Structure formats: structure tokens, C-alpha cells
Amino acid sequence: MAPRVALLAGAVVLLLAAGAARASNDEGDALYALRARMSDPNGVLQSWDPTLVNPCTWFHVTCDHASRVVRLDLGNSNISGSIGPELGRLVNLQYLELYRNNIGGEIPKELGNLKNLISLDLYANKLTGSIPKSLSKLKSLRFMRLNNNKLAGSIPRELAKLSNLKVIDLSNNDLCGTIPVEGPFSTFPLRSFENNSRLNGPELQGLVPYDFGC
Amino acid sequence: MQKLHSDKRQSNKLPIPSIGVALVLLLNFASTTSSCTEQERSSLLRFLSELSRDGGLATSWQDSTDCCQWEGITCSQDRTVTDVSLTSRSIQGQISPSLGSLTGLLRLNLSHNLLSGALPQELMSSSSIIVIDVSFNRLNGDLHELPSSTPARPLQVLNISSNLFTGQFPSSIWGVMKNLVALNASNNSFTGHIPSNFCTNSPSFAVLELSYNQFSGSIPTGLGNCSMLRVLMAGHNNLSGTLPDELFNATALEHLSFADNNLQGTLEGENVVKLSKLATLDLGDNNFSCEIPHSICQLKRLKELHLNNNKMYGSVPSTLANCTSLIIVDLKSNNFSGDLTNVNFSNLPNLKTLDLLRNNFSGKFPESIYSCSSLTALRLSSNKFHGQLSKGLGNMKSLSFLSLTDNSFTNIANALQILRSSNNLTTLLMGHNFLNERMPDDDSINGFENLQVLSLSGCWLSGKIPRWLPKLSSLEMLFLQSNQLTGPIPDWISSLHFLFYLDISNNSLMGEIPTALVQMPMLTSEKVAAQWDHRAFDLPIYRYLSFQYRMVSAFPKVLNLGNNELTGLIPPEIGQLKALLSLNLSFNELSGDIPQSICNLTDLLLLDLSSNKLTGTIPSSLNNLKFMSQFNISYNDLEGTVPDGGQISTFLSTSFDGNPRLCGPMLARHCGSAETPIVSTKQTNDKDVSPLAFMIPFGAFFGLGVLYDQIVLSRFF
């Protein structure tokens, strides 16, 4: 029976095939820049050695079979600092799990470059600023959970272009304006937006400017 | 002391009237000569004022005291400030240009601090400074050219390494330096071409360190004019083109590195031999395509030869034996061939490391290597070597790391008997050899007391997990996967006090998971990361082509029992293995529930329980496994709801497939009041869909799920 789960560990043999192409370690550099921005009292980033040829053996970094970073799992790690623009270079990233930490600063607009992103979990941090419009470029996005932060500004209407978006949670922030109603937004329950005291409810199209109250 | 000296001079110069007048004059002189100039004082205080954190300097740099007495300041005999040295003081803020106003300043050392902002132009254009060291700070911005009218500058040593400098590296500035000896700009983000004029006006230029930047273009031919250049390091950039012939006119070179660039072409023997003083040659990680020049070992001082990760070919010339100073030879990941019998390795008494990983070498184990009494690390992996090992291998007393993986060596019993007398062996990797032989179960296999890592994977060995393994008292990592081992998992597994990595997957092991396994001392340990083994491997270990491990602690704590014939329950005591990072029990015949206690394995990165006969529900506490990046419980007989809202919700349906009674938002079968799941014709085909095409049925299921929500759930308006 051949194992079906591809990727790392498990039943894969310690086989070394001939000549892998060497590429520059741009993804490792980007992640190491993230480490430099973070304060890490629990030492979860201790295995992040920048002298290695790629970050694929770093704990909490998952690569695919082509050694490209596809997951970053740092939820509940007691890290603080800011996210920074470098993560936008991980163009194969599918899962960005930074939830339940003390991360501050803004959501970098460069995250809009993550065209393969499936899950964006930044909930329960101290993020400020507004939700970047560039997140509307995340064509593969299914889960956007930004709840329990200090995000302000309006919900970009452009997010209605995210046709794959299945779950959104923007609750417990400081958002204003109205809730988009087009595209996937027509399916999201109201509780996805609750506890935003300046959010005015679903956009009444044509009657009120969408960022009313901002 | 200086005061006394000036007193002496003073008393010689003065006609000596009364002692009183002399005293007054003495005191007067003392007050005017004991402090540095007003201008110097104010320049230094200006520098202090631009620091946001001064590391305690303010207490020493008092306006009332002599600035020559200030911490970090040294003056010359005539009271001019010559040295400002403030290293490793956690100083933050900007470097004030006022330091350039210190007319007698010779040496400025601000390294290993947290200074930011630009490097002031005034320092580079100073008419006095000969040494600037601002390395290991957070300085940013460009390094600017000087105005063309600048006269010759005296700067000899410039160290701006390990900062955040960016932009095009300046070139004309170096023509203005007439005494430049050393330049270190490594570990920054400089772009542009490497200048060619370092030695144009500085014939004594000796050290150029530009590695770890983003330099592009070709290697400038002008460097060949540097007759005193000893060190040229430009590795880890984006340089392209070939090695220019002119470069080899720099015959004073001792250390030459262009590792990890995009260089191509050849290494010509007639060029290389000109560098008679060369000790280190590092051309690894490029695209060189040529043979090793036969004349290379006319370089009698060559200690390190790194040609790894190129497209080099041909055989290793027998002349390699003439490089009697060789300590490190790294030829890995090339297309070298031949059988190495022509190379007399016994002529290399200082050889410590020989890495031939991933080439096309063939023939038997090169026996002249046995005489290399200093050899610590030897890797022959992934070549076409064959035959048996011979006794001489056991005589290599210095040998610590031996990797023969992925060749065609035979007679494993013989190999183990020979190697057990190699007392210093800590890492032994012999997987993918000894095909289909029998695992020796011989009690006489003693020795190996210092062995920490053992791999015999992928040999398809028959027999059982051998009885001599518990004698390996230092064993930390054991790779026995992909063999044909039968029998139970032995109880003595918990007697290996340092074992933290156990992979016995892909065998025919049977019986239940023994209690001993859930008592393994290293895995039940609550030690913190700082107490783990931080030893570095003698050579970095590679898996899956490019995953690189330099340290023992880089490997996660792993228990992989997958792909066997294990039966019975997953013991609930499994939750005691708190240090475990990867647990794979997949493809067995395990039954019963998923123990709740698995949620105690809080650092778990991988949990694979797929393809068993597990029943019951998925414990919702598994959502607490926040670091879990691989999760698979597919193909069991689980039921109930997939826990929602935590880490588990980051996994796709492939993690849960093949559990017909399981329901959840990401599955075909939704939980909820409507009993009948919405089944599309695609659902039954799901098992046959290859992992790469899971997106299509998944999208269909989700579309249907959304439709279901729309119809059934209440809307908000």
C-alpha cells in the first residue's frame, strides 16, 4: 500500500536522488526577516537557521515536494512584533496561521501577493490599521479570519471578488462603514461581523455610500 | 604620565624664578593642556546627542571632564582624539557626521551595536581616519560616491559588514583611497557590479570581502592587478559569467571564494597554478562545467577545495595526492566518475573531510583512504560503489561520520563486524545497500558505544529488529524503515535513554504497540530546548534532495511506526510522550478510539493515523494542537462531527476522507438536521481521484454546501 499523503516525514525513505537544482534562498530570507521582527519568548523560532539551503527543515514551516513554503503554523506561540512586507514573497504559501499571538502593526498590503493562499488566520492579535484592498487578489482564499484585533477602516468592497471565500470572521474589531453584500458576502452570517461598533450593517446598494460612518 | 612629561618640558623651558610663580604657571599650563580642544569636545558631545540610547556613556562623557578621559576615547600625546572605540554597548540612534570633524581621528570602531540611519559621508571623506569599523549594526541606505574633486584619502580599513545597506555599490570612491588595505562589506544588500579599481591607487590592497550581498555582473578583470590581494571573498551573490584569466594574475591570493553565484565555464589548470599561495578555493554552488585540472595540486598549500554543487565531470586526477596540505575536499553533487583507485589518499595525512555525495563514482571502496589517520568525516553516498567493506576501515580511529547510503555495498554482517572497532564513530548511515540480505542478529556485535545516529533504511533486510541494538547506549536516532523486518516491537526500546528519533515504518512488524514505547525516556522528558543535544554533524545531512540538517537538534522528535501490521489499541499513555513532534501510526491494523490524551502532545507538528481501523469520534481537544501542520485521519471508521474552529479547520477534506460516518463543514457529508447527506456522483469517485486533483470534487462539494446553507439556514434580512 503506497502512502497517499505526499510531503515530508511519514513513510518516505531516506533516498537521495541526483543533482537538485540550486535556487537562491529567497523564501528562507523572507522568513528570517519575519523572525527579526518578532520577539519570541517561547523560542518557537529557535530552529530557524538561515545558513541552511532552504527553510524546509525549520519547525513550523512546511514545504511542498519542490521545497517551496506552503504552510506557516505559528498560532498561539506568544510571539509579538509586526508581520512586515517580506511574507508577500512566499508566493506558494497556502496557510498563514499566526492566530492568538501579540502581533501588532498593520496587515501588510504585500500579503495580497499570496495568490495561492487558502487560509489567512490572523485572529486574536493586536493588529491595527485597515484591511488592505490588495487582499482581494487572493483568488484561492477560502478562510479569512481577522477577528479579535483592532482593525479599523471599512471592509473593502473589492473583497467581494473572492469567489472562493467560504468563511470570513471580522468580528470584534473597530471596523466602520457597511458590510458588502455581493459575491460570497451574501452567504456570510451577521455574526461574522459582530462587535464592530461603527459598522453599519449590510450595504443598502445605491442608497448610502459604502464607507458611510468612517 | 603625560602631565609629568609636559611638566618636565615646562620646567626645562622656563627660567626658574620662585617656586610659587612656577607653581602658578604649572597649574595654568596644566589647565590648558589637560583637555582636548573645544571643537573636539563639541563634536563628541554632538555624537552623543544623536544617540537614542547611549549605553551609559552620558555618565562618563561629562562636559566638565577632560574628553581624553572619556570612556572609549583615546588621545595622542598632543591631546588630539585619535580613537573612538565603543563596541558592544547596545548603542542606538544615528552616527553623527560631527565625528568627521575630529581632525586627528584615526580609528573609529562602533561595531556590534544597534546604530541605524546612514553612514555619514564625512567619515568616508575624512582626511585623517584610517580605520572605520561599523560592522554588526542596523545601518541602512546607500554607500555614496565621493565628489570627484575629493583629494586622496588615507582610509586603510573599512568594515561595514552585517548591516542593512542597500543600493548600488559605489566604484569611483575607491580610486580616491591611496592606502586601502581591507574592505569588508559582506552581509548587506548591495547591488550592482563589483568595482574593478580597488588597487588602481592602492597597491597594498589585501582583503576584499563582499559575500552575502546581491552583486551581479561578472568578476572584474581589474582585480588581477592587485598584486597584494590575499583574500577575495564574493560568495553568495548573483555574479555571472566565467572566471576571467586576468583574475589569476593576483598571485598573492590565499583565500578565494565565489561560492553560491551563477558562475559558469571552466577552471583552467594553467590559470589555477599561478596562485601558488592558495590555501582555500571555494567555487561551490555554481554552474562550472569542466574537469578538475590535473595541475591543481601544484598548489602545495591548498588546504580546502570546495567544488561542490556544480556540473563538473571526469575522474579525480591522481595528482590530487600531491596536495599534501589538504584538509577538506568537497566534491558533492557533480557528475564526477571513475573509481578513485588511481588516487593515493594515504599521501594526504591532514585530510579531515571528504565528501563525494551524489556523483557517478564506481568501483570498490577506495582502500587508500584507510591510511588517512586524520579523517573525521567520509561520505560516499549516492554513487555506484559496490563490493564489501574490508578490515582497514575499522582502523580509522578518527572516523566520526561515515555515510555510504545509496550504493551497492554488500554483506552487512561483515560491515558491522568491521565497523564496531571504529570507536569514535558517532554517525553511521548505510541505508540503501545490502539489498535483500538478512539483518544480522548476532550477539557478538559489540562496540558502537559512541554511535548516536544509525541508518540501515531501505535495504529490504529480512529478519527481526536486532538484539544488539540495545548495546548502542548513546543511540539518539534510529532509521530502520523500508526493510522486511518481522516480529514485535521489542520491549528494550525504552532502555535506549537518548533515543528521540525512531523510524521503523514500512516493515512487517506485528503485535501491539508495547508499553515500553510510550515510556521512552527522551520522549517523555520535559526537558526544554536548551538542554537538547546541540552538537553539529560533521557533515550536514540531506534528506528528500534538499532538506538540510546541520545539527542533531534540527531533527524533530519522531515516532514513525507507519506501514506495518500492528494491531490493538493506541495506548492512552501515548499522551506521556510530551516531547514528541511527529507521530505516524498510519497503515496499520490499529483499532479502538483516538485517545483523548493525544492533546497533551502540545508541540506536535505531524499526526498521521490514517488507514487503520480506528472508531469513535475525533476528540475536539485535538484543536489545541496549534503547531500541527500535517494531520491525517483518513480511511478509518470514525464517526461524529469534525471539530471546528481551531487548527483542525485548516485541513482539507483529504485529511478526513474514507470515514463514511464522519461529518463536517469541509466534507461531503454535512452535519445538521437534514439526515440525508447531499451526495453527488463525484463522491464515490473520490477515492480514485489523485491527490493533485482533489480540488475539483472539493469545489463541487463546497458549492453544494453553500447552496444547502442558502436554502436551509435563516437569513439575516
CB atoms B627 and A60 under 8 Å:
yes
Beta bridge partners, B536, equal B551
Please count the residues of chain A. 214
Closest B-chain CA to A48: B554
Q: CB B496: neighbour CB atoms within 10 A? A: 21
CA distance B330 to B333: 9
Tell me how far CA of residue A129 lies from CA of A107, A108, A148, A173, A176, in angstroms: 7, 10, 13, 11, 12
pTM of the full structure = 0.84
Contacts of A22 in chain B (CB under 8 A): 260, 285, 309
pLDDT class for A88, splitting at 50, 70, 90? very high
Instruction: Note whether B375 and B347 are within 8 A (CB).
Output: no
Please give the CATH number for the structural domain made up of B35-356. Answer: 3.80.10.10
Q: State residue B221 phi and psi, 5-degree precision.
A: -70, -25
What pLDDT, in 10s, does the model give residues B180-212?
999 999 999 999 999 999 988 899 999 999 999
CA distance B506 to B527: 30
- The minimal CB distance from B554 to the residues A10, A14, A47 is found for A47
Contacts of B383 in chain A (CB under 8 A): none
Contacts of B283 (CB under 8 A, 6+ apart): B257, B258, B259, B263, B267, B306, B307, B310
Of the listed ranges A4-13, B73-82, B482-491, the one predicted with least confidence? A4-13
Q: What letters, b where the CB count within 10 A reaches 16 and e where it falls short, cover B334-370?
A: bebbbebeebebebbeebbbbbbbbbebeeebbbbbb
What pLDDT, in 10s, does the model give residues B683-708?
444 444 444 454 554 545 554 545 55
Residue B600 Ramachandran class (φ > 0 left, ψ -120 to 50 alpha, else beta)? alpha
CA distance B113 to B133: 11
Cα B89–Cα B91–Cα B94 angle in degrees, nearest 5? 150
ipTM here: 0.84
- pLDDT of B334 > 60? The answer is yes
What pLDDT, in 10s, does the model give residues B228-274?
999 999 999 999 999 999 999 999 999 999 999 999 999 999 999 99
Contacts of B51 (CB under 8 A, 6+ apart): B57, B91, B92, B93, B94
- A116 reaches B (C-beta below 8 A): no
The pLDDT value recorded for residue B18 is 62
What pLDDT, in 10s, does the model give residues B477-490?
999 999 999 999 99
- Note whether B35-356 and B538-716 share their fold: yes
The pLDDT value recorded for residue A211 is 65
Domain map (residue ranges) of chain B: 35-356, 538-716
- pLDDT of B476 > 70? The answer is yes
Q: CB B518: neighbour CB atoms within 10 A? A: 21
B40 class by beta-carbon count within 10 Å (0-12 exposed, 13-18 middle, 19+ buried):
buried
The pLDDT value recorded for residue A212 is 64
CA distance B624 to chain A (A): 9
CA distance B625 to B610: 17
Q: Closest Cα partner for A178 from A151, A164, A199?
A: A199
- pLDDT of B645 > 50? The answer is yes
- CATH 3.80.10.10 fits domain B538-716: yes
What the block records as the C-alpha cell of B214 is 546581491
Cα A198–Cα A201–Cα A205 angle in degrees, nearest 5? 120
Q: How far is CA B27 from the centre of its chain?
A: 62
CB atoms B706 and A121 under 8 Å:
no
The pLDDT value recorded for residue A14 is 36
Supply the DSSP symbol for B703.
H
The pLDDT value recorded for residue B595 is 96
CA distance B121 to chain A (A): 28
- B547 reaches A (C-beta below 8 A): yes
Contacts of B222 (CB under 8 A, 6+ apart): B195, B196, B197, B198, B199, B200, B246
For residue B329, give the 3-state DSSP assignment. Answer: strand
Mean pLDDT of A185-211: 82
CA distance B562 to chain A (A): 6
Contacts of B608 in chain A (CB under 8 A): 5, 10
Tell me how far CA of residue B421 lies from CA of B352, B375, B398, B475, in angstroms: 19, 16, 12, 16
Of the listed ranges A172-181, B122-131, B682-691, B697-706, the one predicted with least confidence? B682-691
What pLDDT, in 10s, does the model give residues A133-160?
999 999 999 999 999 999 999 999 999 9
Q: Closest Cα partner for A213 from A179, A190, A187, A182?
A: A179
CB atoms A10 and B608 under 8 Å:
yes
What pLDDT, in 10s, does the model give residues B312-330?
999 999 999 999 999 999 9
Beta bridge partners, A28, equal none
Q: Where are the beta strands (DSSP E) in B589-648?
A: 589-592, 606-608, 613-616, 630-632, 637-641
pLDDT class for A1, splitting at 50, 70, 90? very low
CA distance B269 to B267: 7
Q: DSSP alpha helices (H): ranges in chain A?
A: 26-37
pLDDT class for B63, splitting at 50, 70, 90? confident
B52 class by beta-carbon count within 10 Å (0-12 exposed, 13-18 middle, 19+ buried):
exposed
CB atoms B586 and A14 under 8 Å:
no
The pLDDT value recorded for residue A142 is 94
Beta bridge partners, B560, equal B503, B584
The pLDDT value recorded for residue B667 is 80
